[in-house]
Chain A
Amino acid sequence: AQRVTQPEKLLSVFKGAPVELKCNYSYSGSPELFWYVQYSRQRLQLLLRHISRESIKGFTADLNKGETSFHLKKPFAQEEDSAMYYCALSGEGSGNTGKLIFGQGTTLQVKP
């Protein structure tokens, strides 16, 4: 079964500290993985996707197929990073409909 697990409901760090939001997935094929973010009073938006290998707002995420993980990292947290973060998987093959399976979400709280 396809599943995304985010083990931490809340992650609280001080400004300037490193951040790692954990995401593990279960999928038998080749997954497509994403991180979405929801800032306070804003709508859910894409932060980054694994195929792009990009860094957005200082965040990076590497797909580790051996460990079935896609952890989100940032070396120095900023207060404006405080938000809810969702890891998501799209795991279909041919006829990809883009359906997403979401993890439970992790609230990141960056304290001054």
Chain B
Amino acid sequence: NAGVTQTPKFRILKIGQSMTLQCTQDMNHNYMYWYRQDPGMGLKLIYYSVGAGITDKGEVPNGYNVSRSTTEDFPLRLELAAPSQTSVYFCASRLAGGTDTQYFGPGTRLTVL
């Protein structure tokens, strides 16, 4: 199993551009999450999904969109990129809720200039 994979690893965007961060898991997990990690701030939840076709906002959803058309994929869309979206983005998944372990991807480092 590859676990949770994310592409790209690095990206530089100009203000106003858009892009999609890809996240795929091969563990047949129901739950998937997107977090952003700002320096010294820990991880904050952007969006999450409890199954295909079901998504919901986290703590910091503004400026982002998600979709979950399959169990495996949970892409994060940035529209009109802003410097405040410069961050490291982590995707995670878990089999079910409760105390099941969340498995994290390697992260995508995004810079908006």
Q: Which residues in chain B, 5-34, are within 8 Å of chain A measured between CB atoms?
A: 31, 33
Q: A44-B104, A51-B99 are in contact. Are A97 and B48 (CB under 8 A)?
A: yes
Residues 100-111 of chain A, each 1 if its beta carbon lies under 8 Å from chain B, else 0: 111111000000
Tally of chain B residues near chain A (CB < 8 A)? 29
A104 touches B31 (CB 8 A): no
The residues of B with any CB-CB pair to A shorter than 8 Å are 31, 33, 35, 40-45, 48, 50, 56, 58-59, 90, 92, 94, 96-107
14 contacts between A and B (CB under 8 A): A9-B40, A32-B98, A90-B98, A90-B99, A97-B48, A97-B56, A97-B97, A98-B97, A99-B58, A100-B33, A102-B35, A102-B42, A102-B43, A103-B42
The residues of A with any CB-CB pair to B shorter than 8 Å are 4, 6, 9, 32, 34, 43-46, 49, 51, 86, 90, 95-105
